[in-house]
Chains A and B, each alone.
Chain A
Amino acid sequence: MNGWTGNLLRINLSTESVKKESFTEEFAKTWIGGRGFALKILWDELKPGIDALGPENKLVVALGPIAGIPAPNTGKTVVAAKSPLTGGYGDGNLGTRVTVELRKAGYDGLIIEGQARSPVYLNIINDRVEILPAGEIWGKGTYETMNWLYKKYGKAAGILTIGQGGENKVLYAVIRSLEGRAGGRPGIGAVMGSKNLKAIVVKGSNDIPMADPPGMKKLGAEDLRKVGEIDKKTGWSVQGTTGVLSWCNEVAALPVRNMRKTSHQDAWKIDGERLNNARVATYGCPNCTMRCGIAIHDHEGRESELDYENVGMLGSNLEIFDLPQVASLNYLCDDYGLDTISAGAVLGFYADAIDRRAIEGNFKFGDAERAKELLRMTAYREGVGDFLAEGTMRMAQKIGQDTMDYAMQVKGLECSAYNCKFIPGMALAFATSPIGAHHKESWVIMFEITQTSRESYGPEKAQKVIELQRIRGGIFEFIVACRFPWIELGWDLQHYADYFNKITGMNWTLADLFKVSDRIYALMKFFWLREFPNWDRTRDYPPKAWFDPSNADKEGPIAGKILEWDKYEKLLDSFYDIRGWDKRGIPTKKTALGLGLDKEAAEVEKYAKLE
């Protein structure tokens, strides 16, 4: 098979067995890789109802046929498991040298099962796999851990690691790599920690099998150069993703004060211009020529790599408008291995609940020093940290009263840095994101505000959300590549189909790839349905605070405006109609069969009826 190595590496930490397994061409062409591979493996191999932090869960690291090859932005890896935060399908995507090294080692993925008796790390060099004691690095942050491993295995080694957050099973602990890369928002780092697995080190020396190696090498190098040129011309990476902060502030979409507010007069202090002015280093993923990792010195003088989500959620959402302090909070999250988005949302919810006297506590918006202490306590589950480690949904469940209304999450995963109290399509995007609220799948804000009308709930918005889900949550997550050249620099999507075809020797169109996206989205929903057989459409609802008239802005471009339930219901119905899903938000039998999900439909019907 060209494009795929054809192999997965299965490691059982309970029995210490290591198996190289091959997969079929049918598996490859049905699921392609990345999210597709991970989802199918977890669907087939996990029984519903298992403890996500127990030995029966599996951690899957999955790559795709274009991953790791020299071509625009192919240095990303998908990490997946049943999520301990949401109870459903969970995954993440991060830039790492593991992408390149694992493919060169001869694998398109890892399946990690069981639970080690004491902390271990994996060292994978081509066919040789060692399970080694991690006593010296267990308890250490991700920076110290990576340095220790780099000293031992060289700076070219691919490394995935967790911090104290993952070790202590904070429900939004992530997996970390490189200077500031992180992935696995819904607690995939906690799953790794629950297996007593501290790190995965990979080095490979084989060629990645492809149909036309010299042709692809030439095309890839040319295209990397072209993408770099577009970036230079447009200046995108000068401010990177944080450039959008000023726009969100302008159009009342910024997360401020646990998303109570939508803009702030001090937002300029943490904007893209300030970030670039403070830049001391630039980092990126393997095979990237538009590096988005802008590092500045934090309040303590450490290098901290920032992007928009970090600044939005740990900065404006907490009303901390001091960029070095925001960088400190970001550094701590990266070192402890905590998701910055959820950490920012948790701290915001905590400050809000205290402010509203729903609970007693010591934390006010704007208090960066206290926020640092709370992050430390969260990583160690110490004192109130044990409560904060549970995420906003469980915190609200515990407190009760009406606090669930302003726990800014969907399905248990906290919303990323876009305040959608009056952005219906983006609210739909958050609500229908298949892992819980995440903008990664679909981002429609500029389309809504500039190409249609902000107050519309029309089917064109549902159509746009799905169009983007097919690409962002579909193609880029299964082919595995970073979407930034396409998304931010206008690098034609057709290029990715061309890389796919050149590497695999196949002749697929974008429509063929979109079908795989739809198949994956349908099966992700089946995964959720099998875990929650009484599933209903309310699980695809945005946070209640965005519908509360008393929460509307008092002034500004959306003064007095808020989302409306009956209109949202119609928009959600449009979404389900276009996808061929029923009123619960579950794929119909007809839709499932049309996507080749006959076996999966039969399996899920043991638990809940399909229409």
Chain B
Amino acid sequence: MIKVKIKVIGPFIYEAGFSEKEFELEKPSTAGQLLSLVNIQENRPKIMTRNGKAISPNEELEDGDRIAICPIYSGG
């Protein structure tokens, strides 16, 4: 099992129901699999980062990772 923290950013927190939460996952788990555990509509454009760096959905997660899920911002 691995423990990862999810940080939800922006108005996604109102869909997801939380802004920061720890998840326990089976090993191996991917970012995409983690995303499916969070209640954010699939068709909403979003980006994910892992420990501050871009990540693709099929990337494998490690114990202690911090995953951020964010809407597409364009800098106002």
Which residues from A are CB-within-8-Å of B49? 250-251, 449-450
Contact flags (1/0) for B50-75 with A, using CB distance below 8 Å?
01111000000000000010111111
Which parts of B25-70 form the interface with A (CB within 8 Å)?
44-45, 47, 49, 51-54, 68, 70
Q: Does residue B4 face the partner (Cβ distance < 8 Å to A)?
A: no
Once the chains are docked, how many angstroms separate the CA of A368 from the CA of B11?
29
Once the chains are docked, how many angstroms separate the CA of A338 from the CA of B19?
34
Q: Assess the B76–A244 pair: CB atoms within 8 A.
A: yes
Which residues from A are CB-within-8-Å of B11? 234-236, 238-239, 243
Task: Look across to chain B and name the residue whose beta carbon is closest to the beta carbon of A237.
Answer: B11
Stretch of A438-446, A578-586, A596-604 contacting B (4+ beta carbons < 8 Å)? A438-446
Q: Does residue A488 face the partner (Cβ distance < 8 Å to B)?
A: yes
Which residues from A are CB-within-8-Å of B76? 241, 244, 292, 307-309, 439, 443, 484, 487-488
Assuming the A-B contacts A244-B76, A309-B76, are A250 and B47 also in contact, with contact meaning beta carbons closer than 8 angstroms in the complex?
Answer: no
Once the chains are docked, how many angstroms separate the CA of A309 from the CA of B75?
10
Chain A residue total in the interface (Cβ 8 A): 34
Task: Look across to chain A and name the residue whose beta carbon is closest to the beta carbon of B54.
Answer: A450
Name the residue among B11, B15, B19, B47 with the largest chain A CB count within 10 angstroms: B11
- Give the size range of B's interface with the partner: 20 to 34
Once the chains are docked, how many angstroms separate the CA of A389 from the CA of B70?
38
Which residues from B are CB-within-8-Å of A241? 76
Which residues from A are CB-within-8-Å of B51? 557
Contact flags (1/0) for A420-447 with B, using CB distance below 8 Å?
0000000000000000000100010110
Q: Does residue B23 face the partner (Cβ distance < 8 Å to A)?
A: no
Once the chains are docked, how many angstroms separate the CA of A387 from the CA of B52?
38
Once the chains are docked, how many angstroms separate the CA of A308 from the CA of B76?
8
Q: Assess the A250–B9 pair: CB atoms within 8 A.
A: yes
Which residues from A are CB-within-8-Å of B47? 446, 450
Which parts of A216-274 form the interface with B (CB within 8 Å)?
234-236, 238-239, 241, 243-244, 246-247, 250-252, 272-273
Q: Does residue A558 face the partner (Cβ distance < 8 Å to B)?
A: yes
Which residues from A are CB-within-8-Å of B9? 243, 246-247, 250
Q: Assess the A557–B10 pair: CB atoms within 8 A.
A: no
Which residues from A are CB-within-8-Å of B44? 234
Which residues from B are CB-within-8-Å of A215? none
Which residues from B are CB-within-8-Å of A251? 49, 52-53, 68
Minimum distance in angstroms from B58 CB to a CB of chain A: 15
Other-chain residue from A445, A454, A557 in contact with B75 (beta carbon distance below 8 A): A445
Q: Does residue A361 face the partner (Cβ distance < 8 Å to B)?
A: no
Minimum distance in angstroms from A458 CB to a CB of chain B: 16
Which residues from A are CB-within-8-Å of B15? 235
Q: Assess the A235–B14 pair: CB atoms within 8 A.
A: yes
Task: Look across to chain B and name the residue whose beta carbon is closest to the beta carbon of A252.
Answer: B52
Which parts of A454-506 form the interface with B (CB within 8 Å)?
454, 484, 487-488, 490
Once the chains are docked, how many angstroms separate the CA of A243 from the CA of B11?
7
Q: Assess the B74–A443 pair: CB atoms within 8 A.
A: yes
Task: Look across to chain A and name the residue whose beta carbon is closest to the beta carbon of B13.
Answer: A273
Once the chains are docked, how many angstroms separate the CA of A308 from the CA of B74?
12
Q: Does residue B7 face the partner (Cβ distance < 8 Å to A)?
A: yes
Q: Does residue A154 face the partner (Cβ distance < 8 Å to B)?
A: no
Q: Assess the A273–B19 pair: CB atoms within 8 A.
A: yes
Which residues from B are CB-within-8-Å of A244? 10, 73, 75-76
Once the chains are docked, how many angstroms separate the CA of A244 from the CA of B11?
10
Q: Does residue A400 face the partner (Cβ distance < 8 Å to B)?
A: no
Minimum distance in angstroms from B31 CB to a CB of chain A: 13
Task: Look across to chain B and name the residue whose beta carbon is closest to the beta carbon of A262.
Answer: B52
Once the chains are docked, how many angstroms separate the CA of A243 from the CA of B15?
14
Contact flags (1/0) for A300-328 with B, using CB distance below 8 Å?
00000001110000000000000000000
Q: Does residue A556 face the partner (Cβ distance < 8 Å to B)?
A: yes
Minimum distance in angstroms from B39 CB to a CB of chain A: 14
Minimum distance in angstroms from B9 CB to a CB of chain A: 4
Task: Look across to chain A and name the residue whose beta carbon is closest to the beta carbon of B72.
Answer: A446
Name the residue among B10, B44, B49, B76 with the largest chain A CB count within 10 angstroms: B76
Task: Look across to chain B and name the residue whose beta carbon is closest to the beta carbon of A426.
Answer: B75
Q: Assess the B14–A238 pair: CB atoms within 8 A.
A: yes
Q: Assess the A558–B52 pair: CB atoms within 8 A.
A: yes
Once the chains are docked, how many angstroms separate the CA of A439 from the CA of B74?
10
Q: Assess the B19–A250 pair: CB atoms within 8 A.
A: no
Which residues from A are CB-within-8-Å of B54? 449-450, 454
Once the chains are docked, how many angstroms separate the CA of A234 from the CA of B74?
14
Once the chains are docked, how many angstroms separate the CA of A556 from the CA of B71?
22
Which residues from A are CB-within-8-Å of B53? 251, 449, 454, 557
Once the chains are docked, how many angstroms separate the CA of A549 from the CA of B10?
33
Which residues from B are CB-within-8-Å of A557? 51-53
Minimum distance in angstroms from A491 CB to a CB of chain B: 12
* Residues in A lying within 8 Å of B, measured CB to CB: 234-236, 238-239, 241, 243-244, 246-247, 250-252, 272-273, 292, 307-309, 418, 439, 443, 445-446, 449-450, 454, 484, 487-488, 490, 556-558
Given A238-B14, A292-B76, 17 other A-B contacts at CB below 8 A? Answer: A235-B11, A243-B10, A243-B11, A244-B10, A246-B7, A246-B68, A247-B9, A247-B73, A250-B7, A250-B70, A251-B52, A309-B76, A443-B75, A449-B53, A557-B51, A557-B53, A558-B52
- 17 example contacts (A-B, Cβ-Cβ < 8 A) are as follows A236-B11, A238-B14, A239-B10, A243-B11, A243-B71, A244-B73, A244-B76, A247-B10, A251-B52, A251-B68, A252-B52, A449-B49, A449-B54, A454-B53, A484-B76, A487-B75, A556-B52
9 residue pairs, one from A and one from B, having the closest CB atoms: A443-B75, A557-B52, A235-B11, A243-B10, A241-B76, A487-B74, A244-B73, A246-B9, A250-B68
* Residues in B lying within 8 Å of A, measured CB to CB: 7, 9-11, 13-15, 19, 44-45, 47, 49, 51-54, 68, 70-76
